[in-house]
Structure 1
Amino acid sequence: MDTESQTTSAPETTSPSVSDVKAFEVPDGGFVAWSTVAGAWLVLFGTFGYSFTFGVYEDYYVRIFLTNHTPSSIAWIGSFQTMMPFLLGPVAGRIFDEGGFHVIQILGGLIFSISVFMLSLCQEDQYYQIFLAQGLGMGLGLGLTYLPSVSIVMHHFKRHSWLVSGIVMSGASVGSTVFPLITNQLLPRVGFAKTIRLTGAIIPPVLVLGNVMMRTRLPPRSKRSDKAAPPNIKSFLVDLPYMITVLGMFLGLSGLYFPLVYLQLFSVQHNIDSTLAFHSIAILNASGAFVRFFGNYFADKYGPLNVQVGTSIASGALIFAMLGVNNAASLVVIAILYGTFSNWYLGLGFACFASFAKGPEEIGARAGVALAFCSLGALISGPIQGALLTSAYRWIRPVAFAGTVTFASGMCFFVAQKLHRRTVSIRTSRDKDEDVHA
């Protein structure tokens, strides 16, 4: 998508060859394009899908496996793992642009798979072992595979590209439905080590198949005939609507993961039917699997920032509504609704950042810079919420924090949208005046 626009706007000293022109065409369909979508779906199923099982592990670690640690210290494991895909976004994006797509996919997949099996060797009450395997190792694997897997569809789709991205992201939702179900069934039967090995055995073949199915279409940036000047990163930092959007996503990630991490523990602590409580994370993620792409569809139609305002408000309200969960029916309703809106929120982040790009060459850079800043929100979210929870399980405190910052996130998106619309309007008027004088 990006090079097609660049070939029409960037100055050229030589005419591109016929092969170059063909490479820059975006097919918007076909076997290779949809095969790539399916491959990216599988990668997110096996990586993000597995990592989003951490809500199950948080409950298991707090009650059984890491009883000598607080909920806050345990939450650092999941938060560090969640941070890595955002923090490593600029690095992974640069390697992707330079033609290293399959190299980084293979490396990230290997690190993730090995880390999962290393987790199975961790001993009870050995916090550092679990942090290194599940937090650092799996997080690093996620960081290397996530952005390239989402970005690769841009090589094959231009029209409704965000809708296709939503389909790809639904792989994470399906994985985070399947893995919690299997994990909760196996843990009481075969124990921690065997559960990790049995669930982890699914990951390598899924990642290999996904890598085989994906195909790149564009040459490395350094070898393209349409070379453009590198994006001006400093200009991003003084783009007020863009930076307010980054702040909004930072705040959102500081609160949004609360139900994903703590819903199962909340259900167990409130004596809700044990079988249903152990399925709460799967229910939450299953709802996201079926509706995630709708958020991207609405983003195509109404604009990602407009849709993000609504998802923020709904997600914040549903976090507060967790306090009203006292039986099976209320748990299912909250899990389904929160899974819907939180998945829309997470799926629209890339689209929100990309909407500020002045040209296709800025899309990856703007997304990478924003994700790096937002990674801090993902890092601090679980530990802050765990510290507020305390070992006495005072749920009102982390709920109030998570719900409030998620509401604040929506306000940031609202302000950013208004400012961005005004900026675009002024720029358009200036361009018309220049055309008239010319």
Structure 2
Amino acid sequence: MLTLGCTLVVLGMSMLSLATAYWQVFLAQGICVGLGSGLLYVPALAFVSTLFPGSVRLWAIGCVNAGGGMGGIVYTFMLRDLQPHIGFGWAVRAIALVTLVLSVVALAILLPYRSKAPKPQQRRAIFDLKALREPSFLLFSIAMFFNYLAFYITPFYIPMYATEALHQSRSFAFACLVYMSITSIIGRTLPMLAAGRFGSLQVYTAATLGTIVALFSWTAVHNVAGFLGFALMYGIVSGVQVAAPSAAMSHPVLSPTINVIGTRMGMGWMFAGVGVLVGSPIAGALVNVTPGRVDFKPAQSFAGAVAAGALLCLIFPLIAVIKHDKKTA
């Protein structure tokens, strides 16, 4: 899966550099790169989850997720700086080349390893219907859907908010995205150390609460200083939102055996993927709900409200995890 995922991502980026019509962009970036990214992300996290034990696993998951934040910084700078000089096509080809080189290095390191999980007696199911009959796992997955319904609204609309609401330059809007990516790396790594002490689901729940606070505080931002503070805060909590769910899903309450971790991670991230798919279009409709006027408050309030829904869904699995840990302590 990892090899196929790397191949699709590099192929999709290469085809994107040649695209001249919308449908070509959709096929190359939306379908090819999208499928490749899905085949890379969840299997990589599942691989790490079964390879490392205990608290080391949490740190390893955090480091894997930190790579996404680094990519958000490096690729953003590459496209911004290369496009004016060599054009969009060659800038994307340069990104595809970097991706290819890094993929070859990563696969050369990973493929010799074998998962420490016991080999299953029968073929693993891609989708485990029994998991959806477990209240803790079902509510956790719904919480991921709600969290990711709100997750990408901020990165999509930070540049527009900076230029439209605060009347700042495009370079300032770009800088805010970079700052958010930098603090996202912090959120993807350091809180995972706390997860080893307090528990991954506990950290994820705390990050969801922090997300609610950040999103509703965004509605009160009317100056540059406040906006930068919001971007930095959201970067941290969003980083935890990326790293903590996979670590939480390796808990016995959500994944009873190590052999089902990969399947259940895939199912949980499927719920999240649906949220990503519909969240930003809903926000776009809300931003333009008043004809002839851009109003960010409905989208901001929507994001905060669905994050609050995620927090409510996390209460039951959190209680179940705490009870389990007390029994096994």
For normalisation by structure 2, the TM-score amounts to 0.87
Question: Does the Cα contact within 8 Å between 1:299 and 1:307 map onto a contact in 2?
Answer: yes
Identify the match of residue 382 of structure 1 among 272, 277, 280.
Answer: 280
Alpha carbons of structure 1 residues 107 and 408: separation in structure 2 relative to 1, 3 Å: same
> How many angstroms does 1:174 deviate by?
0.8
Alpha carbons of structure 1 residues 194 and 377: separation in structure 2 relative to 1, 3 Å: same
- State the partner residue of 1:415: 316
> How many angstroms does 1:155 deviate by?
4.8
1:158 maps onto 2:53 in alignment: yes
- State the partner residue of 1:371: 269
Gaps of 5+ in 2: none
Question: Does the Cα contact within 8 Å between 1:113 and 1:203 map onto a contact in 2?
Answer: yes
Deviates more, 1:389-398 or 1:301-310: 389-398
Report the Cα distance in structure 2 between the residues aligned to 1:131 and 1:230, rounded to whole angstroms.
32
Question: 1:119-158, aligned counterparts within 5 Å?
Answer: 119-123=16-20, 126-158=21-53
Alpha carbons of structure 1 residues 290 and 106: separation in structure 2 relative to 1, 3 Å: same
Report the Cα distance in structure 2 between the residues aligned to 1:362 and 1:218, rounded to whole angstroms.
13
1:113 maps onto 2:10 in alignment: yes
Report the Cα distance in structure 2 between the residues aligned to 1:295 and 1:156, rounded to whole angstroms.
21
- State the partner residue of 1:256: 151
1:336 maps onto 2:232 in alignment: yes
- State the partner residue of 1:362: 260
Report the Cα distance in structure 1 between the residues aligned to 2:287 and 2:31, rounded to whole angstroms.
24
1:200 maps onto 2:101 in alignment: no
Secondary structure of residue in 1 paired with 2:280: helix
Secondary structure of residue in 2 paired with 1:354: coil
Question: Does the Cα contact within 8 Å between 1:272 and 1:327 map onto a contact in 2?
Answer: no
Alpha carbons of structure 1 residues 191 and 327: separation in structure 2 relative to 1, 3 Å: farther
Q: Which amino acid aligns with 1:401?
A: F
What RMSD in Å do the two structures reach over aligned CA positions? 2.6
Report the Cα distance in structure 2 between the residues aligned to 1:184 and 1:319, rounded to whole angstroms.
28
- State the partner residue of 1:179: 75
Gaps of 5+ in 1: 1-103, 430-438
Question: 1:16-415, aligned counterparts within 5 Å?
Answer: 104-123=1-20, 126-160=21-55, 161-214=57-110, 215-218=112-115, 224=119, 227=121, 233-270=128-165, 271-355=167-251, 356-390=254-288, 392-415=293-316
Larger Rg: 1
For normalisation by structure 1, the TM-score amounts to 0.67
Secondary structure of residue in 2 paired with 1:341: helix
Question: Does the Cα contact within 8 Å between 2:3 and 2:107 map onto a contact in 1?
Answer: yes
Report the Cα distance in structure 2 between the residues aligned to 1:220 and 1:347, rounded to whole angstroms.
21
Percent identity for Structure 1 against Structure 2: 23
> How many angstroms does 1:327 deviate by?
4.0
Q: Deviations over 1:378-437 (max 9, x none)?
A: 211111111212274221111111111012211211232124545x489x59xxxxxxxx
Report the Cα distance in structure 2 between the residues aligned to 1:387 and 1:340, rounded to whole angstroms.
27
Report the Cα distance in structure 2 between the residues aligned to 1:282 and 1:412, rounded to whole angstroms.
31
